[in-house]
Amino acid sequence: MPMLDFWFDFASTYSYPAALRIAPLAATAGVAVRFRPFLLGPIFKAQGWDTSPFNLYPTKGRYMWRDLERLCGGLDLPFRPPEPFPQPSLLAARVALVGLAEHWGEEFCRTVFRAEFGEGARIDDRATMARLLAPFGVDPAAVLAGAQSEPTKARLREETQAAQAHGIFGAPSFVTADGELFWGNDRLEHALAWATRGG
Amino acid sequence: MPMLDFWFDFASTYSYPAALRIAPLAATAGVAVRFRPFLLGPIFKAQGWDTSPFNLYPTKGRYMWRDLERLCGGLDLPFRPPEPFPQPSLLAARVALVGLAEHWGEEFCRTVFRAEFGEGARIDDRATMARLLAPFGVDPAAVLAGAQSEPTKARLREETQAAQAHGIFGAPSFVTADGELFWGNDRLEHALAWATRGG
């Protein structure tokens, strides 16, 4: 089965529709997807940015929020931006890594994105994480301890370095088995098509 | 008939596929398109950039060239980037304004884009402009004189200001009659759909 890596940051606005769209589209295309959370922060810092480019360039930021609102409307996805933006995504990414190693990670990622951009929830505290973990029948305290453990912290750093090594500079990004990089929610279909034709 | 304004800069890479795609798609959708060349330079300068962001951020630039190559492959469009990039687009934009006032402008715009990104031609000199004008049965010397005239220069400045007033920060951009802004070649279909549903 062809593979596609789905690289995203929970702080990334366009990662929200991508995360909610990818599973059914990949199933139809016959592509196996790996969810790979990483942190854009260090990559943005290497470009000289200390926050989201949508904050650094307000005209672009205003456009993005309107564009995302339209997109979510067309996809029938709830839309309510979190404050502040961007949300610190470190904790959610670590929790997701724990879940992805235990098979409940993908649905947890969708749950986080829905809470953050559909309900405007803050995702940077343990209480929210515990609330979002509740439906999964796992022990939130144990999961959070695992998320804050050294191996998980190291793994997220390694994933971020791997993203950078693939030439990733934004999120969402998709990388095929033959190393083709596609950037942006609007490239998801292209990435799946590339993967199925032997990537 | 619904209207859609197609804002582009001849220096803009993704404006190439957009310019080549828009006429047939708009015809099918029943949308009237206005070609509106403008200059990104002053808009980029206002954001603190002195060249294309694809040059300022090399990782993003490398991705863009590969992405454009793939896109052109899928559209069966020839692809050969010009050097240097970006091409100074002032002269071509002024000539296009003359042509758009005289009904040969749209096809001339497509001709410029094909030469620039399909053949790697420089578009910043009068000789190239004269060569590209030849098939149109116009007098190149007269057209170039009109392009360098004060009214044309003023018109291009006004168009660039109008683009900025619409919140445009990149190219290609599409603006519907009700003021909805869509940015990027990959938003062309969305913009046409918005226009037809009463925009």
**Alpha-carbon span B12 to A191, nearest angstrom:** 23
Residue in B with minimal Cα distance to A62 = B167
Nearest CA to B97 out of B42, B155, B137 is that of B155
Task: Indicate yes or no: CB of A60 within 8 angstroms of CB of B186.
Answer: no
pLDDT at A199 (0 to 100): 46
Is the previous residue joined to B84 through a cis bond, with omega within 30 degrees of 0? yes
Task: Indicate yes or no: CB of A169 within 8 angstroms of CB of B70.
Answer: no
Task: Indicate yes or no: CB of A187 within 8 angstroms of CB of B186.
Answer: yes
Mean pLDDT calculated for residue range B78-93: 97
**Alpha-carbon span A145 to B79, nearest angstrom:** 52
Average confidence score pLDDT of chain B: 96
Of A59, A67, A169, the CB nearest to B63: A169
Task: Indicate yes or no: CB of A67 within 8 angstroms of CB of B167.
Answer: no
User: Is residue B15 within 8 Å of residue B117, measured between CB atoms?
Assistant: no
Nearest CA to B199 out of B28, B25, B30, B23 is that of B30
Confirm whether pTM is higher than 0.90.
yes
The string of DSSP codes covering B57-123 is SHHHHHHHHHHHHHHHHHHT------SSSSPP-HHHHHHHHHHHTTT-HHHHHHHHHIIIIIS----
Residues B58-78 have pLDDT tens digits of 999 999 999 999 999 999 999
Query: How near does any CA of chain A get to the CA of B14, in Å?
Result: 14
**3-state SS assignment for residue A21:** helix
User: Is residue A191 within 8 Å of residue A179, measured between CB atoms?
Assistant: no
Question: Which residue of B43, B168, B186 is the best one to mutate when testing the A interface, meaning the one whose CB has the most A CBs within 10 A?
Answer: B186
Task: Indicate yes or no: CB of A63 within 8 angstroms of CB of B167.
Answer: yes
Nearest CA to B185 out of B35, B71, B14 is that of B14
pLDDT at B198 (0 to 100): 66
ipTM: 0.92
How would you write the pLDDT of chain A (199 residues) with one tens digit per residue?
Answer: 999 999 999 999 999 999 999 999 999 999 999 999 999 999 999 888 899 999 999 999 999 999 999 999 999 999 999 999 999 999 999 999 999 999 999 999 999 999 999 999 999 999 999 999 999 999 999 999 999 999 999 999 999 999 999 999 999 999 999 999 999 999 999 999 999 986 4
pLDDT at B47 (0 to 100): 85
pLDDT at B145 (0 to 100): 98
Nearest CA to A41 out of A163, A155, A134 is that of A163
Task: Indicate yes or no: CB of A183 within 8 angstroms of CB of B59.
Answer: no
pLDDT at A127 (0 to 100): 96
Residue in B with minimal Cα distance to A71 = B190
Query: How near does any CA of chain B get to the CA of A81, in Å?
Result: 20
**Alpha-carbon span A60 to A46, nearest angstrom:** 21
Query: How near does any CA of chain A get to the CA of B60, in Å?
Result: 6
pLDDT at A48 (0 to 100): 87
Bridge partners for B36 per DSSP:
B7
State the alpha helices, DSSP H only, in chain A: 15-29, 40-46, 53-56, 58-75, 90-101, 105-113, 126-133, 140-147, 150-165, 188-196
pLDDT at B199 (0 to 100): 46
Q: Which residues contact B14 (CB under 8 A, 6 or more apart)?
A: B64, B68, B171, B172, B184, B185
Interface of B with A (CB under 8 A): 47, 57, 59-60, 62-63, 66-67, 70, 167, 169-170, 180-184, 186-187, 190, 194
Of B60, B167, B187, the CB nearest to A169: B60
Does position B18 have pLDDT exceeding 50, yes or no? yes
Question: Which residue of A169, A183, A185 is the best one to mutate when testing the B interface, meaning the one whose CB has the most B CBs within 10 A?
Answer: A169
For residue A60, list chain B residues with Cβ-Cβ distance below 8 A: 169-170
**3-state SS assignment for residue B184:** coil
User: Is residue B64 within 8 Å of residue B13, measured between CB atoms?
Assistant: yes
Instruction: Work out the number of other CB atoms within 10 angstroms of the CB of residue B71.
Output: 20
pLDDT at A17 (0 to 100): 98
